[in-house]
Structure formats: C-alpha cells, structure tokens
Structure 1
C-alpha cells in the first residue's frame, strides 16, 4: 500500500478559483480553512439561482469526486448561511467557495462531472 501525495488545500482552492475565472465564471472565497488539509464546500449557482452545495468525497478507485448534498433544500440565502454556520462550527478547518457559472454544463465541467 502506498500513500499518494496531494496538494495542499490552499493550492487547490487557488487553482479552482483561477480556472473558474478563466472560463468567465465568478468564484470567490467565502471562508478560509486549514491551508494544508481542510475540507472544501462549494456553494454553486447557475446565473445567480438554484443554489446547491457540493462537497468532495474520496473514492476507493480514483480521484475524489464532487457530490451535491442531496438532503439539503436551499430556498434562500438565510438557509445557506445557516447551514454553513452549522458546518463551520463542527469543522473549523472548512473552506467555502461560492461559484456562479453561466450554465449547468460549465458547472459540471468545473466539478469534473458529465453534464
């Protein structure tokens, strides 16, 4: 068994934001976490609407993948804020990015998913 090296979270965040901006999308850091190994949440919107929160989960047979938190219904900014406050209270190392893309296909591309 070998241990795979991975990039520090701060480097991954910086690269993700730059990639989004290079494609013409908006990405901003809402909360800084642990620079080396903090978990990452993405608050994703398409044209400012239909917010979904994505979290990256490890995979047994490949790279980690982004999964929408399916049990979460977000109908207002207050609900998003409340959820993020609860999560960061439990995990002070958590990073949070807000991402607003032009369409679902660009969002899927940034998250490494099939549209």
Structure 2
C-alpha cells in the first residue's frame, strides 16, 4: 500500500482550500480516483496557465508550467483523450500555484 493519498481526495482538498480562500475551483474532467495525474488550469485576472506535478530543475518534485503557446483548452483536451486517468481542474484565485503545490505535495 502507498503512503500517497488517492487523487480524488487531493482534488477535493484542493477545491476546498480554494473555496475557503474566496476563489473558485471546478473539476473539468474526472480521472482515476486512486492514481490519476492532475493538470491544474490556474486562472488569475483572465490569464490562464497549465500546471502539473513533475520534477523541477533542481531534481525535486514540483509544479511544472506546461502552458502551450496557444489553444490551452485544446491542449488539455488532447492530453485527456490520450490519458483518461488524467484529472483536469480549474482554479480561479490569485495564489493558485502556491495552493496547488501545498495540497498536491509538491511545495
């Protein structure tokens, strides 16, 4: 058994943190409840970025900016088509990268 919390629990906790901080969070696509990867659409003042867990330049786990040059929605939809276990969540709050890193265990 893994020490890692199920993805469904992490996503729920993240959405609750965002809501408690006065922001808005929504699940755009549900993935595998136990072990799906999470792609975060971080919205702040109309600007959107895609963040996901990965290995940072220092070799430690972190949130990696995966924002494409164009067609952000098309990008995550194509990713989701290839990986049905992928969770896609949108967070509309100023500090979404920090909140996501804390809850997803990368910060």
For the aligned pair, the TM-score class normalised by the smaller chain equals 0.7 to 0.9
Structure 2 counterpart of 1:30: 28
Please, what is the CA RMSD of the aligned residues? 2.3
- State the structure with more CA Rg: 1
Q: Indicate yes or no: 2:49 matched with 1:52.
A: yes
Structure 1 counterpart of 2:88: 96
* Alpha-carbon distance in 1 for matches of 2:84, 2:9: 18
Instruction: Map residues 11-90 of structure 1 onto 2, 5 A cutoff.
Output: 11-47=9-45, 49-58=46-55, 64-69=61-66, 72-74=68-70, 79-90=71-82
Residue 65 of structure 1: SS of its match in structure 2?
Answer: strand
Q: Unaligned stretches of 5+ in structure 1?
A: none
* Alpha-carbon distance in 2 for matches of 1:55, 1:109: 12
Residue 17 of structure 1: SS of its match in structure 2?
Answer: helix
Quote the offset at 1:4 in angstroms.
Answer: 5.5
Q: Unaligned stretches of 5+ in structure 2?
A: 103-107
Q: TM-score, normalised by structure 2?
A: 0.82
Q: Indicate yes or no: 2:9 matched with 1:6.
A: no
* Alpha-carbon distance in 2 for matches of 1:36, 1:4: 11
Q: TM-score, normalised by structure 1?
A: 0.76
The total of aligned residue pairs comes to 101
Q: Where do 4+ consecutive residues of structure 1 move more than 6 Å?
A: none
* Alpha-carbon distance in 2 for matches of 1:32, 1:57: 20
Quote the offset at 1:111 in angstroms.
Answer: 3.1
